[in-house]
Amino acid sequence: MKKQTGFTMMELLIVLVIIGLLAALVGPTLYKQISPAKASVAKAQIQNFMSALDAYFIDTGKFPSSQQGLGALRDKPSSVSGWNGPYLQKELPSDPWGNPYVYRSPGRNGGYEIISYGSDGAAGGEGDARDINSWES
């Protein structure tokens, strides 16, 4: 009679418990690292929009209106002359939380403003829900 080799059910359960414990210990630490990374991505995307808006302004002499929005960086608005885009190479991204960026022109300080409302998608908030603004970048 040949002896069968392999793992017993008890050995498999012990391994699963150990993996679960490791995940419980590492998960919160990993989450704390992801949250600031999303804010950094939003700031970088806003900086990219700002560079594209500067190029748009140089070509057209004005910033896109609030109605035209950031989409004017990809698609030529019908009433704009001097447009030499597209000013963004890829499609207009959402913020890292999946919400659209808010663009206003004129902004509070003149020119324009770009806002990501954070994880809650609403104005204000703290932590992950804190707003990320172009005038603070």
Q: E-assigned strands of the chain? A: 102-104, 113-116, 132-133
pLDDT tens by residue, 5-33: 777 888 889 999 999 888 888 877 776 66
- pLDDT at residue 1, as a whole number: 63
- pLDDT at residue 8, as a whole number: 84
Structure tokens given for 127: 């932590």
Compute the distance between CA of residue 49 and CA of residue 47 in angstroms, rounded to an integer: 5
pTM for this predicted structure: 0.70
Question: Confidence class of residue 110 from pLDDT cuts 50, 70 and 90?
Answer: confident
Question: Does 114 map to a domain?
Answer: yes
Question: Does 95 map to a domain?
Answer: yes
CATH number at residue 105: 3.30.700.10
Which residue segment(s) compose the domain that 100 sits in? 38-133
Question: Does 20 map to a domain?
Answer: no
Compute the distance between CA of residue 34 and CA of residue 70 in angstroms, rounded to an integer: 27
